[in-house]
Amino acid sequence: MKALCWYGTNDVRISRVPDPRILNPRDAIVKVTLTAICGSDLHLLDGFIPTMKRGDILGHEFMGEVVAVGPGNTALKVGDRVVNPFTIACGHCFFCGRGLWSLCDNSNPNAGMVEKLYGQSPSGLFGYSHMMGGYAGGQAEYVRIPFADVGPIKVPDSLTDEQVLFLSDIFPTGYMAAENCNITPGDTIAVWGCGPVGQFAIRSAWMLGAGRVIAIDREPDRLLLAAHRGKAEVLDLTQVNVFEALKDLTGGRGPDACIDAVGLESHGSTIDDFYDRVKTKMMLATDRASTLRQAIHACRKGGTVSIPGVYGGFIDKVPLGAAFSKGLTLKMGQTHVHRYLRPLLNRIEQGEIDPSFVITHRLPLDDAPAAYDTFKEKRQGCIKVVLRP
Amino acid sequence: MRHLESVDRVTDTISHWRAKGPRGTVVEWDAEIINEVPNQVIGWRSLEGSDVVSAGSVNFDDEGAGRGTRVTVHLQYSPPGGKVGAALAKLFGRDAATEIREDLRRFKQQLEAGEVPTTAGQPRG
């Protein structure tokens, strides 16, 4: 089959590889009908995530048709049309039992590897480095899904692929980011990053009762989408002092909750961003964090900073003193996608949201390498790329 | 226990163990259960004539409040010299505790998830 493989920093290509096969009883094999490039895939492209190996198949947002089912899987049958969560979860451990699906204890074959870095291992992920399991991803014609009896959700034929694909990651991720804000009616929510996750965080904040949503980015196209489809007030961080602007907009109090939908490759315009760039270039730090600092700085006393943006390693100059003194709550982590599949599918079915609004580029899988570049450089107003194998 | 080849029951309390070492070497021992309390503990020691002198126990403790069972392995072994000793060192690597911890992790995965997660045999470019 054809698959998008990673060969090194800024080097992804379409390769011919063997078809996947059933390896464990609960597996399923899916023929991919639609897949997407995630902002977090760019962290792989840019070489920020350790333990990648040449030839790894990328992609964790995908859906398709079940073509084979393992002998221990009675939940799926050949022909089922499913969307698959990007986190891999066994459904039976201490963590799955508590709804903490992205922290599943039993899905990472390389748990010992990540324990050295993080202390404990989160769940396995598709196409996201060997310390996260080394699972082949779904930017391919076929993909193997482990624990496929608890992950994939069957979707009705009345909805198109484009309407349901983002249940795999970015819609639940934006939704959980908003849920983590503990929104009470009327709250003001500030969202840094108007990429796909930010767009869904904005929409979700409204769903959960926000009174005001303020979106922050530097890309005019993304701010426009946040304003038009997200009904957010927008701040262009290249034009205004974000901290002062947020203070002014909230009578000096600051937003009730701040969402960092940017993560470890923040593009700031402040002195600390320059400092991060120097340190990461010199391998003295691994992540850039100007957004996180700004979110902590801007958040009102007693508020919440919610972090759906991915962080991978070490950052410094985190203003923990500000977080402490203002009594902030920090909430973060990979999305417990399984928890949100059914409720968010219901919202799509009821017409509350059509997630395809974020798609700007529709391309064949063969064009994936060029699409990565377009997405990374944010050319042609690129916000979200979907690929059809 | 990736290196284990077979375990054969000899009597109710005695079993014969066979593990594969490097370059076709085989390490064999007989183990006798000397202490067994159902759902709590299994203790054993090797019998004379074994390639390796070992003794150990596995304890099962209820963590309570739906928090599962804590499984603790104690293992003592004194490897012989020569080829068999070298084979054993290879089996356990430099760090027997790490090997046992990984064995316990796979044991837990098998019990909780019904299978051990793997990527062996998947495609790559």
What does the pLDDT average to over A298-310? 96
Which pLDDT tens digit goes with each residue over B33-73? 999 999 999 999 999 988 888 899 999 999 988 889 999 99
Which percentage of chain A shows pLDDT scores above 70?
Answer: 95
Higher pLDDT among residues B63 and A282, named by residue: B63
Q: What is the pLDDT of residue A71?
A: 98
pLDDT digits (tens, 9 = 90+) for A20-34: 999 999 999 999 999
φ, ψ (nearest 5 deg) of residue A267: -105, 95
Q: If you count residue pairs, one on A and one on B, with CB atoms under 8 Å apart, how many are there?
A: 88
| Region of poorest pLDDT, from A10-24, A81-95, B64-78 | B64-78
First-to-final CA distance of chain B: 30
- B window 35-94, beta carbon within 8 A of A: 66-68
| Residue that wins the pLDDT comparison between A370 and B100 | A370
* Average pLDDT along chain A: 95
Residue A268 has pLDDT above 80, yes or no: no
Domain boundaries, chain B: 4-113
Q: What is the largest CA-CA distance in chain A?
A: 61
> Which of A332, A349, A380 is the last residue before a domain boundary?
A332
- A207-216 pLDDT, tens digit per residue, is 999 999 999 9
| Biggest CA-to-CA distance, chain B | 52
CA distance A56 to A12: 10
Query: What average pLDDT does this structure show over A340-351?
Result: 98
A23 in contact with B, Cβ within 8 Å: yes
Tell me: do A21 and A161 sit in the same domain.
yes
Residue ranges of alpha helices (H) inside A229-367 are: 242-249, 271-281, 290-298, 320-325, 337-349
Residue A230 has pLDDT above 90, yes or no: yes
CA-based torsion, A48, A52, A58, A61: positive or negative: negative
The first and second tokens of residue A301, run together, are: 């006393």
Least confident span in A23-27, A314-318, A333-337, B78-82: B78-82
Nearest Cβ partner for A24 among B68, B102, B115: B115
DSSP structural state of residue A20: P
Statement: residue A274 has pLDDT above 90: no
Q: Which residues of B touch A25 (CB under 8 A)?
A: 114-115
| The pLDDT of residue A282 | 65
Percent helix / strand / coil, chain B, rounded to 5? 25, 40, 35
Please tell me whether residues A116 and A248 are part of one structural domain.
no
Q: How sure is the predictor about A248, in pLDDT bands with cuts at 50, 70 and 90?
A: very high
Pair type for strands A304-307 and A257-260: parallel
* pLDDT per position as a tens digit, B102-113: 999 999 999 999
Residue B71 near residue B103 (C-beta atoms within 8 A): no
pLDDT, position A190: 98
pLDDT of res. A6: 98
Question: Are both A161 and A198 inside the same structural domain?
Answer: no
Report CA B83 to chain centroid distance, whole Å: 21
**Locate tokens 């060192």: which residue?**
B89
Name which of A310, A275, A115 is nearest A193 in CA terms: A310
Tell me, yes or no, whether A89 and A225 share the same domain: no
Q: Which domain CATH number covers A294?
A: 3.40.50.720
Note down the domain range covering A271.
171-332
pLDDT tens, residue by residue, A156-178: 999 999 999 999 999 999 999 99
Mean pLDDT value across chain B? 88
Between A170 and A116, where is the model more confident?
A170
Q: Hunting for tokens 């204890």 — which residue is that?
A: A105
Q: How far apart are the first and last CA of chain A?
A: 10
What pLDDT does residue A312 have?
81
Q: Tell me, what DSSP letter sits at residue A308?
A: -
Task: Tell me the CA distances in angstroms from A133 to A113, A130, A146, one per residue in order.
Answer: 9, 5, 11
Instruction: Note whether A146 contacts B117, CB cutoff 8 Å.
Output: yes
Domain count, chain A: 2
Mark whether A305 and A356 lie in a shared domain: no
Q: Are residues A40 and A187 in the same domain?
A: no
Interface check for B2 against chain A (CB to CB < 8 A): the answer is no
- The bridge status of strand A87-88 relative to strand A81-84 is unpaired
Q: Which fold has domain B4-113?
A: Alpha-D-Glucose-1,6-Bisphosphate; Chain A, domain 4 (3.30.530)
What is the rounded CA–CA span in Å between residue A387 and residue A363? 5
Please give the pLDDT value at position A281: 67
Same domain, A191 and A119: no
Clarify whether residues A381 and A278 are in a common domain.
no
The reply to whether A109 and A140 lie within a common domain is yes
- What's the distance, CA A76 to chain centroid? 26
Does the global pTM surpass 0.90?
yes
Task: Identify each DSSP E strand in B1-125 by its residue range.
Answer: 4-9, 14-20, 26-37, 41-46, 53-62, 69-78
A355-364: average pLDDT = 98
